[in-house]
Amino acid sequence: MDKRLLTILRCPVTHKGLAIARRDTLDRVNKAIEAGTVSNRDGSVLSEPLGEALITDDEKLVYPVANGIPVLLEGESINLDQLG
């Protein structure tokens, strides 16, 4: 992902800045996905692990990146509070 793009992208929910999610965050999310205990804001339980994601500056929401394209739809976001 082009890091210059990150300087202009904002979370559509909170309007906070976004950064590339660190590997440890992705590992936590993917572990919860594998366990079937994480859903997106639309309420869909996720079954496919994330290869890449963006995270809000406050580290509360994660957005998947599909084929190098950020999916910045409110319903696709993952609230990290549900990870415990």
Identify the bridge partners of residue 19 per DSSP, sorted by sequence position: 55
Question: Domain of 44?
Answer: 3-83
- Model-level pTM? 0.92
Domain count, the chain: 1
Query: How do residues 33-81 score in pLDDT, each as one tens digit?
Result: 999 999 999 999 999 999 999 999 999 999 999 998 999 999 999 999 9
**Cα 16 to Cα 71: distance, rounded to the nearest angstrom:** 15
**pLDDT higher than threshold 80 for residue 1:** no
> In which residue are the tokens 């406050």 written?
58
Q: What is the per-residue pLDDT for 72?
A: 96
